[in-house]
Amino acid sequence: MTHSKKKVLVTGAARGIGLSIAKTLAAKQYELVLLTSNGVSADALRRELLVEETKATVFPLDLSDRDAIADFAAEWTEPLWGLVNNAGICKTFGIQDVGDDPFNDVLATNLEGPYRLTRGLLSRIERPGRIVNVASQLGREGRAGYSAYCASKFGLIGMTKCWAKELGASGITVNAVCPGWVGTEMSFKDVDRMAAEQGVSAERFYAEVCDPLELKRFNTPEEVANLVAFLLSEDASGITGRDWMMQTVWNQQ
Ligand SMILES: NC(=O)c1ccc[n+]([C@@H]2O[C@H](COP(=O)([O-])OP(=O)(O)OC[C@H]3O[C@@H](n4cnc5c(N)ncnc54)[C@H](OP(=O)(O)O)[C@@H]3O)[C@@H](O)[C@H]2O)c1
């Protein structure tokens, strides 16, 4: 008897944590549906060995565009074992800053996007099935300058807990992962900016940030991917509505 592979859709799969999730899931024999934000990153992802080897399908979908999400979801007909809402952006802006604020952009991409995509695809998610949302430790703690990002990630954790209650009886589990600093483009941009603001080198700032952390270093994208893979697995059938931290909260003010 042949078993078809379980299919998992991952957003933000072109780089960083999302690409690591895709690679980790491919090694575990999942069939992959990979989303990026636009045609250019979709084409770049299609050239990755991972996609060539696994025959993953790649689609561009801007998660801040609710009409595009509705069209994508309406056209999607295949069953999905899992949905990983990983894509996200981080734009800082203090409450006292002057100028155009990024609030709507960040909320649209990080919060409304996952809400609309999940709602649109829900009828295609298998029972049992899995939803994993990539939130952040900044979904549990505040940080100066991060009000839009924190609002989006606190919101994503809130939605995780609501969906777990709504979907538990049907066999769909819903969990959030809440990494702290992870070594990707997103975090190294922040390290460079914060180091410059404090007038210290990026190396010194990195060392200061890592000092209170148990592991004395950032997590790797692969470590986050391993947690996501566990929460997607059959072994995690009894875990839902939780927000999973990886290390101590580091906080800047
Ligand atoms: N890095 C960290 O320290 C850290 C810590 C905690 C949580 N996180 C969370 O982990 C997730 C992944 O972060 P990362 O560090 O891997 O970030 P990253 O390297 O900047 O990658 C972000 C991904 O999100 C996609 N994306 C951005 N805007 C989008 C949009 N409008 N529509 C669809 N996709 C969009 C990007 O697609 P394109 O490639 O097409 O641009 C990219 O693949 C995010 O939700 C982030 O908030 C990161």
Q: Tell me: the pLDDT tens digits for 164-179? A: 999 999 999 999 999 9
- 139 CB under 6 A from ligand 1? no
In a domain, 83, yes or no: yes
Whether 36 lines ligand 1, by a CB cut-off of 6 Å, is: yes
How many structural domains are present in the chain?
Answer: 1
Nearest CA residue ID for atom 35, ligand 1: 37
Using alpha carbons only, what angle is made at residue 16 by residues 91 and 146, rounded to the nearest 5 degrees?
20
Q: Please indicate, yes or no, if residue 39 is contained in any of the structural domains.
A: yes
Which atom number of ligand 1 is nearest to the Cα of residue 190? 3
107 located within any domain: yes
Q: CB within 8 A of 192, min separation 6: which ones?
A: 202
Domain assignment of residue 253, yes or no? no
pTM of the model: 0.97
Residue 209 within a domain? no
Range of the domain at 69: 7-180+220-245
Residue 164 located in a structural domain = yes
pLDDT in tens, the chain (253 residues): 445 799 999 999 999 999 999 999 999 999 999 999 999 999 999 999 999 999 999 999 999 999 999 999 999 999 999 999 999 999 999 999 999 999 999 999 999 999 999 999 999 999 999 999 999 999 999 999 999 999 999 999 999 999 999 999 999 999 999 999 999 988 999 999 999 999 999 999 999 999 999 999 999 999 999 999 999 999 999 999 999 999 987 665 4
Active site residue 30: no
Instruction: Give the domain CATH number at 164.
Output: 3.40.50.720
Please tell me if the CB atom of residue 20 comes closer than 6 angstroms to any atom of ligand 1.
no
What integer pLDDT is reported at residue 251 of this predicted model?
A: 67
Q: Is residue 214 part of a domain?
A: no
156-186 as b/e, with b when 16 or more CB fall inside 10 Å? bbebbbebbeebeeeebbbbbbbbbbbbbee
What are the CA-CA distances from residue 236 to residues 86, 157, 173, 214 (Å)? Answer: 19, 18, 8, 25
